[in-house]
């Protein structure tokens, strides 16, 4: 443990929903819910106004609609979120070379290593300056926690929400933790929490009093030792600048169970293609192909095949995924499919042969290394790559929340669509709440558009619709 609160944890406030509110003046101060809008979609982020109704992330979207029927329901605009995340992470890297991103909207920063902070006063000044810089650059708010360890810094940022700063002074940690629920500690999920509760342990203080031997008896050696150390506020983990990602994958959840075996096969082939595009985009290849199938009864099966060498060849990945599908019984229906590649490297099997030939001629040797990749989430699909989806009868279906531009009325966003019409609200981040107009879905004057910067002069959504294509088949 350090002698000063020089580990900072930043957590952007309701990030996806806050971006949408900042982008759409008519939604500011209102309940906004971002996520998959199909019958089996889940909530990605809910604004604080929506949370007042009991809506939270990972909740089924159908349940959210029952709790907050009048909220604005929007599909995610991941490219815009990534652009803003890069701005925020850039601010963090100006403070220290040791920045450990946990997600698009969350990261640890070691302030001590670069001399940015050395005591409580300097750390508090840095945290306050960071919050001001984030608001200036992005127009958004973030909550900051400062402590002598990563665990406590994260707890502090939770206490700071929304839009606050909390510093945990060294020496006060155990007193602070004692009355907190055991669920506060990382690694204590619902099952572990229930197990401890049945043993009469509900707070961190009670966990510390129970002793290490009792926790080992209840939870096993590794888990018991780790949680006892946390209960005593011991956390020696360092901030790690690079987090190694083990795989690249994509998944789709289907609104209706797929029963047709041929259709399942087609979906697997499509997912394999998407996975390879993501793999190549990261400059990676991989040796192990993984197929994930969640069946109608929620049972989840995974099958994998390891190749002789790494590949980024779509045909190889498709064929391997098809072989794996033959090993899975899909009788009864499939609700989710996923294809992934692990055993990552920055060269391919074909490179090995080429370089081996080069070595015979005195060419260069081999180099090998792992890099970060991306994981796919349940519900990721067409909604992540475009604002318009081709409907079943050739009709364009405009996704709620997507950016559009009209030849006469300018920039706006899709508020809803159906029965051959699309409703658009015309407003920009810097305007007042705009007017709503309705058009035919195939109006030639209405087209997809890139997101606008949230702050005047800031970076826009460079990877918006124009970067990924227009109408999807």
Residues annotated as catalytic are: 106
Q: How far apart are CA 66 and CA 64, in angstroms?
A: 5
Q: How far apart are CA 461 and CA 387, in angstroms?
A: 13
Contacts 24+ apart (CB under 8 A), 83-89: 83/459, 83/460, 83/461, 83/462, 83/463, 84/19, 84/138, 84/140, 84/454, 84/459, 86/459, 87/137, 87/138, 87/458, 87/459, 88/10, 88/12, 88/134, 88/137, 88/138, 88/142
Residues 6+ apart with CB under 8 A from 384: 76, 78
Does 11 belong to an annotated binding site?
A: yes
Q: Give yes or no for a contact between 252 and 302, defined as CB atoms under 8 angstroms apart.
A: no
**Sign of the CA dihedral with 21 first, then 449, 135, and 96 last:** positive
Does 443 belong to an annotated binding site?
A: no
CA 340 from chain centre, in angstroms, equals: 17
Q: How far apart are CA 46 and CA 13, in angstroms?
A: 10
Peptide bond into 162 cis (omega under 30): yes
Point out the annotated binding site for Mg(2+): 11, 105
Annotated binding site: 11, 105
């Amino acid at each position: 443990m350090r002698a000063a609160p020089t580990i900072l944890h930043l957590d952007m406030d309701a990030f996806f929903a806050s971006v949408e509110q900042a982008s759409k003046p008519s939604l500011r101060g209102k309940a906004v819910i971002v996520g998959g809008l199909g019958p089996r979609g889940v909530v990605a982020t809910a604004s604080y106004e929506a949370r007042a109704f009991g809506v939270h992330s990972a909740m089924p979207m159908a349940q959210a609609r029952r709790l907050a029927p009048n909220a604005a329901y929007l599909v995610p605009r991941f490219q815009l979120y990534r652009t803003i995340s890069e701005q925020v992470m850039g601010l963090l890297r100006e403070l220290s070379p040791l920045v450990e991103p946990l997600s698009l909207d969350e990261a640890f920063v070691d302030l001590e290593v670069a001399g940015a902070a050395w005591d409580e006063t300097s750390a508090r000044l840095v945290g306050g300056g960071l919050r001001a810089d984030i608001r200036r650059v992005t127009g958004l708010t973030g909550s900051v926690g400062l402590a002598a360890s990563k665990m406590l810094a994260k707890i502090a940022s939770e206490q700071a929400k929304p839009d606050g700063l909390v510093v945990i002074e060294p020496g006060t940690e155990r007193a602070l933790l004692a009355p907190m629920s055991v669920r506060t500690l990382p690694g204590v999920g619902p099952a572990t929490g229930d197990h401890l509760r049945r043993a009469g342990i509900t707070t961190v203080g009670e966990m510390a009093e129970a002793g290490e031997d009792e926790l080992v008896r209840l939870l096993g050696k590794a888990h018991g030792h780790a949680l006892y150390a946390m209960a005593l506020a011991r956390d020696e983990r360092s901030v790690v600048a690079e987090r190694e990602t083990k795989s690249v994958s994509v998944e789709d959840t289907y609104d209706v169970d797929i029963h047709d075996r041929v259709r399942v096969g087609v979906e697997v082939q499509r997912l394999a293609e998407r996975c390879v595009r993501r793999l190549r985009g990261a400059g990676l290849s991989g040796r192990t192909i993984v197929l994930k199938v969640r069946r109608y009864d929620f049972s989840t099966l995974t099958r994998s095949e390891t190749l002789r060498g790494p590949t980024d060849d779509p045909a190889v990945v498709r064929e391997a995924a098809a072989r794996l599908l033959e090993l899975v019984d899909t009788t009864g229906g499939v609700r989710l499919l996923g294809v992934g590649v692990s055993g990552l490297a920055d060269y391919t099997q074909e490179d090995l042969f080429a370089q081996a030939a080069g070595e015979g001629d005195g060419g260069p040797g081999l180099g090998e290394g792992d890099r970060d990749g991306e994981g796919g989430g349940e519900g990721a699909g067409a909604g992540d790559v475009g604002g318009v989806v081709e409907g079943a009868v050739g009709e364009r279906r405009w996704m709620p929340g997507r950016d559009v531009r009209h030849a006469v009325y300018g920039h706006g966003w899709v508020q809803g669509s159906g029965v051959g019409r699309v409703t658009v609200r015309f407003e920009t981040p810097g305007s007042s709440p705009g007017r709503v107009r309705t058009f035919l879905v195939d109006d030639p004057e209405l087209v997809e558009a890139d997101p606008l910067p949230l702050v005047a002069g800031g970076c826009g959504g460079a990877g918006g619709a124009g970067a990924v294509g227009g109408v999807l088949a």
